[in-house]
Amino acid sequence: METAEIRRRFLAHFEAAGHTVVPSAPLLFDDPNLLFVNAGMVPFKPYFLGQETPSFDRATSVQKCVRTLDIEEVGKTTRHGTFFQMNGNFSFGDYFKEGAITHAWRLITGSLDDGGLGFDPEKIWVTVLHTDTEAREIWKKVAGLPDERIQNRGLLDNYWHMGVPGPGGPCSEIYVDRGPQYGPDGGPEADEDRFLEIWNLVFMQEEITNVRAKDQFDVVGPLPQQNIDTGMGLERVAYLLQGKENLYEIDEVFPVIAKAEELTGRRYGADHVDDVRFRVIADHVRSGLMLMGDGVTPGNEARGYVLRRLLRRAVRSMRLLGYEDPALPALLPVSLDRMKASYPELEADFARISQVAYAEEEAFRQTLGKGTQIFDQQATAVKQGGGTGLSGEAAFTLHDTYGFPIDLTLEMAEEQGLSVDADGFRALMAEQRARAKADAKSKKGVHADTTAYRAALDAHGPTDWLAYTDLRTESRVLALLNEGAATPAITAGSIGEVVLDRTPFYAESGGQNADAGHLTWSGGRAEVLDVQRPIKGLVVHQVRVLEGELTLDTTLEAQVDSEWRTGARQAHSGTHVVHAALREVLGPTALQSGSYNRPGYLRLDFGWGGALSPEQVRDVEAASNRALRADLPVSASYMTLPEAREAGALALFGETYGEQVRVVEIGGPWSRELCGGTHVEHSSQIGTVVVTSDSSVGAGNRRVEALVGLEGFAYLARERDLVSQLSGLLKVKPDEIPGRVGDLVERLKVSERELEKIKAAELLSGAATIAESGKDVGGTTVVAARLEGVGGGDLRTLALDVRARMGAERPAVVALFGVVDAKPSVVIAVNKPGIDAGLAAGDLVRTAGEKIGGRGGGKADVAQGGGTDAAGVESAIAAVEAAVGGA
C-alpha cells in the first residue's frame, strides 16, 4: 500500500467519524519556541492550552514535521529521519478514552476492502500508564486484547506533557509485532525493534505545574474539559504495510536512493559506509524539498541554515560516493514525483523550488573549490614544517569560514597521510553552538509569559480593531502593564503598555510597521511607540507618557498620525505592485519570500538565481509605474483559504492563516495576494515607485528596495540636482554627461600609465646607485636599503633590477625595505651563486619579518613580506646581514 494511500485512508476514516479534516500547517509555523513544526499537535496547541476556542469538537490531520536535533545521526541508523508525517486525530471536550481507542482499533485492524489498514489483530500489543486501569479495561472491551498484550509502563514512557506548566495526561501506545526474526518475544517491554510503536493516544485530563523532568511534576487537578491528541507515524506504518525494513525503503524515499545508485555506480546494501551516505541523500533531498515547498531558502541563520546543511550534506554524500557532477537536478525531480501525490502544490511550485536548490548546489560547488585550495595550502604548510596533523583550529576555520565540511576535511587529510585534531574541532564547534544557543535564548526567550495579556483578554474580550476604517477613536483604557505585569498607572516620562477597548492603530504584522500617533486625555498625552498583538485578539500599545498620568478606565482619544498612515499605505501597496511587476518581467517563479515596509520605503525578498541586469531593474520600475498610471482599483475581500487559492491568490510562505483570509487585489488578477495590511484605494495614490537597489540575500534569493510617494519624488529630485551640478561642472548637456565622464576617465588612465612609466624610470635610474652601496659579508655582497614611499610591485621591480646589476661572479643578496604610510614591506632577491652557496630568499625574508612585526615567504631566488613596525627596519637589515654571514 503506497504511503499516499495510507494517508488518504487515515483521513477518510476520521472524516467519516465526524472529524473536520484540517490541512497540514506549514513547517514554518508561528511559534516562538519552534524552528519548525515537530509534532502533529503543534497547530492545535492553542486549543489545548485554552488560548483559543476551536470551531470544531473533533479534527484530523496529516501534519508535515521536521526534527533537526538528529541531523548528524541521519543514515547511521534506520530510525532517524529529518522530515516525517504525523497522522493525528483530536478531540476537544468531545469523545475521550473509549472513543480514541475505538477509532484507532477500527482503522488499524479494519479490512482493506472496508477502508482499514488490515493489520492482524493478533499482532497488536499496547501499553498503558501503570495507574490507568480505565484504559486497560477499555482495550479489553473494545479490542478484546488479553491482559498479557496490554503492558503497564511508567511516567517516562506513558505520560505526555509539553515540558511546561499546562495540560498533561496518560497515554496508550500501539505496537505491531514484526516477528521473531526481529528480536525476542515479550512485548514492547522486551524489545522495541521487534515490537514497533506506530501510534500514541494521549488522554489529556490533568493540569500540571512545577515541571522538573519528564517524570517529575506536580498535578494541579483535572482539566476543565478532557481532550484527545494522537499521533501515528505515517512512515512507520508505510514500511510495515509495504514489507520493508525501514523508512528509507518506502515508496516515498527509496526512489531517490535508486537514482543515486544509477548515478554513482554504487549499490545500496553492499557497504555500511555507503549505505549511510545513500540514506543521507534520500532523507535530505526529501526534507529539503518539503522545506523549500514551504518557503524556506538557504541561509546562514536559523531555518535557512538547516536547509543549507541538508542540501549540502546531500551533495557532499554524492561526492563521497564518487559523483562530482551537479546532483540535485537529477535527484530532486525524483523526490517530487513521489511526494506530489500527497502535496500537489509542490509540482505547481517546482520551478521556484528547483531554482533555489540548484543555485545552492552551484554555490556549494564553488565553496568546495575554494575550500580545497585552502586545505591544500594548509596541508602543504604542515608537511613543510615537519608536522603530521592538521590542527582543530585549522579544520574549524575551513568549516566556519569557508563552509568546508569536517568529514571532507578528514577524507582529504587521510588521502595525504595527515591526521586531523577532531577533538579540538569538536571543542570549537561546541563553543560556537553554546554561543549561538545563548544568543538565540537572549533574543527569543523560552515560552514567553503571556499571563497578563491572557488575563486582559479573558476579562474584557478581544480588542475592537478599526485600523482598516478609522484614524481616530474614542477609547477606554482596559489594562495597563509594565514589564509584563499589571500596573494601576503610567506616569509622565515612563514607558508602559496600554490595552484599549477599541483602537485605530495598525499592529505590526505582515512586514508592515506599526502605526505612529498619540493618545490624549484630560490633562495628559502619550506618544504611541509600537503596537503589537502578543496573543490572538488582543492589541497592545507601547506608549511613552509625555504629560499627566494614564490610569485605568480613562476615556481618551486614540489618534493615528495621518501622514504616517498615508506613507504606510503607499509602501504596502507599493510592495504588492513591485511583486507583481517582478513576476511580469522575470516570470512566475519570482515569488516573494519576505518583505518589510514603512512609510516611503519598501524592500521585497524573492526567489531568483542571479543578479538582475540594469535593463531588468528598469523594466520592473517601468511596469510598477505603468500600474500606478493606470489607476488600478485596490480592493480587499474575505474568503476561505481554499477559495483564495482557487482564485489564484498568492500567500507569503511561512505565514499562518486562519479559516477566513483577506485577499487584496490591485487591478484584479494582476496582483492578488493574501494580506492583512493597510492599502491605498487606487494604485495612483502610491505616487511613484523608484527602485533603488538589487542585492543578494543568500543563494537563490534576491532583495529589491524601493522608495514610494514623497520619498520617491525626493530621491528623484536629489538625482536631478546631482545631474544639474555635474552638467554645470563639465559644461555639457545632461545627456552628454556619460560620454564626457568616459572621456575624462580614459584620459586619467592614460595619464596614470604615463606617470607609472616616469616613476619606474626614476626608480630604475637609482638602481645603479643602490647596487654600488653593497658591502661584503663573509664573501657575499649584500645590498640593503630603506626606501621611503616605495612599496608593492615597485619594490619588487627595483630589487630584481639591482640583483641583475650585481652580476653572477660571486654570491649576492639584495634586501630592500619600502615604507609607505608607516607600514614596512620587504623584498629579498638572491642571485644563482648565492643560492648555490646555500642562501635562500624565503629564509631571509622570514628573518627580516620578525624584526618588522610581520612575516613573508617565497622561493629561494626571490621572496617578499610585510610588517607593522617601520622602526624595526634597521634591525631587520642587521638580522639579514647576520644571517648571510652565518650561512
pLDDT tens digits along 585-603: 998 888 888 899 999 999 9
Q: How many CA atoms within 13 Å lie on the side-chain side of 679?
A: 27
On whether 576 is known to bind a ligand per the annotation, the reply is yes
Helix (H) / strand (E) element for 227: namely strand 216-233
DSSP conformation letters of 808-872: SSS-EEEEEEEEETTEEEEEEEE-HHHHHTT--HHHHHHHHHHHTT-EEEE-SSEEEEE-S-GGG
Dihedrals φ, ψ of 231, to 5°?
-145, 120
User: What's the pLDDT band for 445 if we cut at 50, 70, 90?
Assistant: very low
Maximum CA pair distance of the chain? 111
**Distance between CA atoms of 676 and 572, rounded to whole angstroms?**
10
Q: What is the pLDDT of residue 539?
A: 95
Q: What is the pLDDT of residue 711?
A: 95
User: What's the pLDDT band for 658 if we cut at 50, 70, 90?
Assistant: low
Q: What is the pLDDT of residue 429?
A: 78
Whether the predicted pLDDT of 454 surpasses 90: no
Helix (H) / strand (E) element for 456: namely helix 451-460
What integer is the mean pLDDT of 137-142? Answer: 96
On whether 284 is known to bind a ligand per the annotation, the reply is no
Q: What is the pLDDT of residue 448?
A: 47
**Distance between CA atoms of 621 and 580, rounded to whole angstroms?**
11
What integer is the mean pLDDT of 817-826? Answer: 91
Q: What is the pLDDT of residue 758?
A: 82
Asked if residues 342 and 4 have their Cβ atoms less than 8 Å apart, the reply is yes
Asked if residues 99 and 90 have their Cβ atoms less than 8 Å apart, the reply is no
Strand order in the sheet with 775-777: 775-777, 780-788, 812-820, 823-830, 862-866, 855-858
What integer is the mean pLDDT of 429-438? Answer: 66
Whether the predicted pLDDT of 443 surpasses 50: no
Q: What is the pLDDT of residue 516?
A: 95
Whether the predicted pLDDT of 81 surpasses 90: no
* Residue type at position 633: P
By percentage, how much of the chain surpasses pLDDT 90?
Answer: 66
**Distance between CA atoms of 770 and 541, rounded to whole angstroms?**
77
What integer is the mean pLDDT of 829-841? Answer: 94
Lowest-pLDDT range of 230-244, 512-526, 656-670: 656-670
On whether 679 is known to bind a ligand per the annotation, the reply is yes
User: What's the pLDDT band for 373 if we cut at 50, 70, 90?
Assistant: confident
Whether the predicted pLDDT of 810 surpasses 90: yes
Q: What is the pLDDT of residue 653?
A: 57
User: What's the pLDDT band for 476 if we cut at 50, 70, 90?
Assistant: very high
Dihedrals φ, ψ of 425, to 5°?
-60, -45
Which of 346-355, 381-390, 427-436, 711-720 holds the top average pLDDT? 711-720
DSSP state of 686: G
Whether the predicted pLDDT of 659 surpasses 80: no
pLDDT tens digits along 8-67: 999 999 999 999 999 998 898 766 667 888 889 988 888 887 778 888 999 999 999 998
- How far is residue 176 from each of residues 118, 149, 181, 373, 740, measured CA to CA in Å? 12, 11, 14, 53, 82
By percentage, how much of the chain surpasses pLDDT 70?
Answer: 95
User: What's the pLDDT band for 229 if we cut at 50, 70, 90?
Assistant: very high
Q: What is the pLDDT of residue 808?
A: 87
Higher per-residue confidence, 41 vs 484: 41
Whether the predicted pLDDT of 342 surpasses 80: yes
* Cβ atoms within 10 Å of 523's Cβ, excluding its own: 9
Helix (H) / strand (E) element for 3: namely helix 3-16
Q: Residue 533: which region, alpha, beta or left (left: phi > 0; alpha: psi -120 to 50)?
A: beta
Whether the predicted pLDDT of 442 surpasses 50: no
User: What's the pLDDT band for 75 if we cut at 50, 70, 90?
Assistant: confident
User: What's the pLDDT band for 652 if we cut at 50, 70, 90?
Assistant: low
**Distance between CA atoms of 59 and 468, rounded to whole angstroms?**
33
- 3-state secondary structure string, 741-780? HHHHHHHHHHHHHHHHHHHHHHHHHCHHHHHCCCEEECCE
Q: What is the pLDDT of residue 440?
A: 42
Exposed / middle / buried, residue 181 (Cβ in 10 Å: 0-12, 13-18, 19+): exposed
Lowest-pLDDT range of 357-366, 578-587, 828-837, 866-875: 357-366
Average pLDDT of the chain? 90
On whether 675 is known to bind a ligand per the annotation, the reply is yes
Asked if residues 649 and 663 have their Cβ atoms less than 8 Å apart, the reply is yes
Asked if residues 28 and 294 have their Cβ atoms less than 8 Å apart, the reply is yes
**Distance between CA atoms of 15 and 149, rounded to whole angstroms?**
30
Dihedrals φ, ψ of 732, to 5°?
-135, 165
Exposed / middle / buried, residue 379 (Cβ in 10 Å: 0-12, 13-18, 19+): buried
What integer is the mean pLDDT of 682-704? Answer: 90
Helix (H) / strand (E) element for 625: namely helix 614-629
**Distance between CA atoms of 110 and 120, rounded to whole angstroms?**
9
Q: What is the pLDDT of residue 98?
A: 97
What integer is the mean pLDDT of 860-878? Answer: 93
Q: Cell triple for residue 345?
A: 502544490
Whether the predicted pLDDT of 822 surpasses 70: yes
* Domains of the chain and CATH, by start: 3-249 (3.30.930.10), 252-371 (no CATH), 388-442 (no CATH), 451-560 (2.40.30.130), 565-717 (3.30.980.10), 773-885 (3.10.310.40)
What integer is the mean pLDDT of 181-196? Answer: 94
* Cβ atoms within 10 Å of 514's Cβ, excluding its own: 23
Lowest-pLDDT range of 291-300, 470-479, 836-845: 291-300
Q: What is the pLDDT of residue 881?
A: 93
What integer is the mean pLDDT of 564-584? Answer: 96
Whether the predicted pLDDT of 3 surpasses 90: yes
175 forms beta bridges with: 125, 197
What integer is the mean pLDDT of 236-253? Answer: 95
Whether the predicted pLDDT of 655 surpasses 70: no
Q: Cell triple for residue 148?
A: 498479557
What integer is the mean pLDDT of 763-775? Answer: 84
Whether the predicted pLDDT of 444 surpasses 60: no
Whether the predicted pLDDT of 413 surpasses 90: no
DSSP state of 248: G
